[in-house]
Amino acid sequence: MVVNLKDRNFLTLLDFTAEELRYLVDLAVKLKKKKQAGERGDLLEGRNIALLFEKTSTRTRCAFAVAARDEGGMSEYLGKGDIQLGKKESIADTARVLSRMFDGIAFRGYRHQTVEELAEFSDAPVWNALTDKYHPTQLLADIMTIQENFQKLQGINLVYVGDGRNNVSNSLMVGAAFLGFDFSIVSPKELWPDIELLNKCRNISQQNGGTITVTDEPVAGVKGADVLYTDVWVSMGENNKFQERIEQLKLYQVDMDMIRNTGKENLIFLHCLPAYHNIDTENGKLVYAKYGLKEMEVSDEVFESSYSRVFEQAENRMHTIKALMVATIGKEKLG
């Protein structure tokens, strides 16, 4: 099958096929080898990328910037204080202006409707770099990391533990459905995923030989996991939810007991970062002072263990984002 993603938006994994997702990951693998060999490329030469970020970022911003530069492109960061998105200038007008100056637009913000509207009015491809509903560029890095560790994707048992209806969990569920994973969400019932999205993913998963399970049992729910994945308990913009989330999720921390409960020796642990695994940050110290917790969604022991692939996963953000840009606005295919 010939895969052509030229000029395509990337708003949610639901807009792509399993073959297209595998193609992006395979392209990312080639580009990673190219970078490791010290080769600079020109696949994005002459391409300009707008980084339209309502929400701050470390990995996503750096991944886009370095990925573009590696292949001869240029990026321009437009943070919350640099733009008038929806205030002095409508989303539609912003899209029409930027797409006349840039070849691609990455949007990271609060409302998924915003990235949809940008895509509707933009003449250039728009990539979702995180919204309240989905985080598809993160999922590409997750898939790549899983493939690197297991040399396969079909039949992987992926278990996500924590807030089962946030953007990372949603994207994992969609990606797992397309790729035929056995995917489980282990979460308290009040944080289970949207039923419409869950049913849609279950239908897709069944067609691809996978399963999707949702449970509130943390011990039984992680049995047999090849990949154990978690995310922060409190998402950006939910700072008033700390006490509530701690009460809801205190039994769902990924610690060494949970690792042992999987019954697997060769499992890996993933986290999209940043993580509350110690009190070495200002926020970590504040959480400890107010709630008495030195660790939240993952213990420091697990985070620093041989099971952890979080920094390989973070690096793969760059390689997969580079693949996305090359595939959609690049001047040619690689290999």
Active-site positions? 108, 135, 138, 231, 272, 317
269 contacts 259 by C-beta, under 8 angstroms: yes
107 contacts 115 by C-beta, under 8 angstroms: yes
Class of residue 196 by CB neighbours under 10 A (exposed 0-12, middle 13-18, buried 19+): exposed
- State whether residue 128 is helix, strand or coil: strand
Q: Which of 6, 1, 2 is nearest to 326 (CA)?
A: 6
Cα pseudo-dihedral 29, 143, 222, 185, rounded to 10: 170
H or E segment at 23?
A: helix 18-36
Helix and strand totals (H; E) in the chain: 13, 9
How far apart CA 49 and CA 69 sit, in angstroms, is 10
